[in-house]
Structure 1
Amino acid sequence: MAPMPTLAASFLLGILLLFYPAAGAAVHHSVTATTGLSAYDIPAVFAFGDSTLDTGNNNALPTAVRADHAPYGREFPGGAPTGRFSDGKLLTDFVVEALGIKELLPAYRSGSGAGLAVDAAATGVCFASGGSGLDDATAANAGVATFASQLDDFRELLGRMGGSKASQVVGKAAFLVSAGTNDMMMNYYMLPSGRSKYTLEQYHDLLIGNLRSHIQSMYDLGARRILVAGLPPVGCLPLQLTLAALRQPPRPDGCIKEQNAAAESYNGKLQRMLAGFQSVSPGARAVYADIYSPLLDMVDHPGKYGFSEVTKGCCGSGLMEMGPLCTDLVPTCAKPSEFMFWDSVHPTQATYRAVADHFLRSNILRFDN
């Protein structure tokens, strides 16, 4: 198999195409080049949402939804667990490194719970909290930070930065958002209370409405470059397949079609919401990031990505383990790079790399004026 472009360069090119459409021709010839990227003037990256972006904020919370223990971080520099829900770096780490900002995107809340020093946070920081979502009930059930509280942390940082410094950074920074998967998995499909209160379409509308409000808050605080990830093919996640088997054995051979169809419906509504938001928000560039298509393609054609296993995670049995159940007391696979999932929900570093390659090849992050 031909080597894939690095995650950092691929996703970075997507960002450049998003914020600077004319840059496509200039950088397309060398997707792995990282020199001279500071010329595109992206001074910081701010991340909000759930465990796909959380680089360690939950370490400071009294919650079981944590990844600050082995075997998480097995492929991370030094092999140390940091609170990232994967075997290695997350997407945002590669982005800030390729931009020449810094090597890793730090969590805003350290283990002590204190906010990161201003000088370090002003060049980008992660506010995301694993287990969080767009419905506050999701975060409350997990004992983690709500999306609104993540925005409160951002406001706190802006106050500490001061008006002059904040205005220089925020308007040009990239704001990355990934949320909604936990709402569907943990608060709708798993708990009967969610389904008893809302139909599927009503719950989608609730989530999209809440997200619209949060994006508006970002915009009001100065954000202009906002990238929002859609839902993945939820019905292909190992945990969802296992839960389906517990309800009605045996475990499905393929993905759960109804849950994937629901994710596609949500993503359609998300795209329409972002287009509407941008049309009434001067200077805003609000772009939908499709993660559904590349992840489903990995499930359907694993060999194309170098994967030998796409139905279970690398940690333990791969069927249920995640967070507190994925520990150094359970075995892990020999080659995480051949697994699509690290635990029963979260991708491996190899999966993030392949998703970024899809972003590049399809130009889905290109911004159209």
Structure 2
Amino acid sequence: MAYTIYFIILMHFCTFVVVTTSISNDLMRTKFLSILVFGDSTVDTGNNNYINTLAKGNHLPYGKDFPGHMPTGRFSNGKLVPDFIASMLNLKDTVPPFLDPNLSDEELLTGVSFASGGSGFDDLTTALTGAIALSKQIEYFKVYVARLKRIAGENETKRILRDALVIISAGTNDFLFNFYDIPTRKLEFNIDGYQDYVQSRLQIFIKELYDLGCRKFAVSGLPSIGCIPIQITTKSVSLKDRKCEEDENSDAKLYNRKLARQLLKIQAMLPGSRVVYTNVYDPLNNLINQPEKYGFKETSKGCCGTGLFEVAPLCNEFTPICEDPSKYVFWDSVHPTEITYQYIAKYLEMEVLPKFQFHTDYVF
């Protein structure tokens, strides 16, 4: 008798877990009506193809593992994090760039990327790279909203924007170009002050998107900047002495701690908003510090060329590439491989997306 009661209780418990998990997954996958992406090359799905800049990924070997094996402007051998997230949310398989002249109305409804390789929150960054500044990305977004209203109407547009997942991924270029490698901003800021300056620009950016109707923001912190291959190359005395630049990693961790606190304050200032800190430092560092655990072999060099300095025009169709990109954390000397982006996306699916879910009481 006791065994029967125990068995019944166990079966009810298992049913509860399965049902609640199913409901939770359904909520996560249906809550977002669209995906809107802003930032730099980590989330640029091809906008730089249409502007005058050297920072382009629209040539081989970029895109060699993308569907169709064609370069799209993504700075990787395949898909980026927003592509994987859009697929997880059942929105679309890949996120198109807003500047694509052949962009369909249907694609607009479910979201686009406004990001640009070489961009940052500091306008000085884009002055150096020729990328689309975050302020200009806002202007493109206003054009997008106007077009959306013509397609879907005023009320539906408000609903789409309110229930869009807004991904913001930028900041790394600001520190690379303006503080570490070309230390222009060091003339007026120490590292603490420059971090605050960058985050003040981010706050203005989020407020502008909020005023235009967006409510759900996933904001990326900095990766382990000191472990980016080109940073290792520029800081290493010799090829035998290649290792992560720990001072830059410490700076990134400090920035991320400050960002997590700042985003909570921003959320409190914007009624009805959800502003979630997106940790990309830890998942990338997991791969770098424990490569064997995740099936990787090379963590300090890119797959393209020597992997020490090749990026954008220097990584081209005449550049030899590694035999198996899935064993490399980085594709070129700056950007991760598709398999790395996929791992980060899975991490975000588990750690970030649930923070946007409805809080619902289930009764069985």
Q: Structure 2 length as normaliser, TM-score?
A: 0.87
Greater RCO, 1 or 2 (C-alpha within 8 Å, sep 6+): 1
Q: Deviations over 1:183-202 (max 9, x none)?
A: 11122111132222221111
Contact 1:271 1:288 in 2 (8 A): yes
Tell me how far apart the structure 1 counterparts of residues 252 and 143 of structure 2 sit (CA, whole Å).
Answer: 34
The answer as to 2:308 corresponding to 1:319 is yes
The match for 2:119 is: 132
- 1:221-267 CA distances to partner (integer Å, 9 max, x unpaired)? 1111100010000000000011113xx44664431110000001111
How far 1:101 moved relative to its partner? 2.2
Change beyond 3 A, Cα 1:364–1:62: closer
1:197 corresponds, among 188, 203, 219, to 188
Q: How far apart, CA to CA, are the structure 1 residues paired with 2:257 and 2:20?
A: 29
2:330 pairs with one of 335, 341, 345: 341
Does structure 2 retain, via aligned residues, the 8 Å contact 1:244–1:252?
Answer: no
CA–CA distance in structure 1, aligned partners of residues 19 and 196 of structure 2: 35
Please point out which of 160, 165, 182 is paired with 1:169: 160
Please report how far the alpha carbon of residue 115 of structure 1 lies from its aligned counterpart in structure 2 after TM superposition. Answer: 8.1
Q: How does 1:348-367 map to 2 (within 5 A)?
A: 348-360=337-349, 363-367=351-355
For 2:231, give the aligned amino acid. Answer: Q
Tell me, which stretches of 5 or more residues in structure 1 are unaligned?
1-21
Aligned match of 1:76: 66
- Aligned partner of 1:13 in structure 2 is none
Contact 1:105 1:124 in 2 (8 A): yes
RMSD: 2.3
Q: Which moved more, 1:296-305 or 1:312-321?
A: 296-305
Greater Rg by CA? 2
Instruction: Give distance in 2, aligned partners of 1:300 and 1:25.
Output: 35
Whether the 8 Å CA contact 1:234–1:260 is kept in 2: the answer is: yes
Q: Which runs of 5+ in 2 are unaligned?
A: 1-16, 360-364
Contact 1:118 1:157 in 2 (8 A): no
Structure 1 residue 216 displacement after superposition: 0.5
CA-CA distance at 1:165 after TM superposition: 3.2
- Of 188-197 and 133-142, the range deviating more from structure 2: 188-197
Q: What do residues 164-210 of structure 1 show as CA deviations (whole Å, max 9, x unaligned)?
A: 33212100010001000011112211113222222111111110000
- Contact kept, 8 Å, 1:179 with 1:229, in 2: the verdict is yes
Q: Within 5 Å, which residues of 2 pair with 1:75-224? A: 75-110=65-100, 114=101, 116-162=103-149, 163-224=154-215
Between the aligned partners of 1:150 and 1:353, the Cα distance in structure 2 is: 25
**Counterpart secondary structure, 1:121:** helix
Aligned length: 337
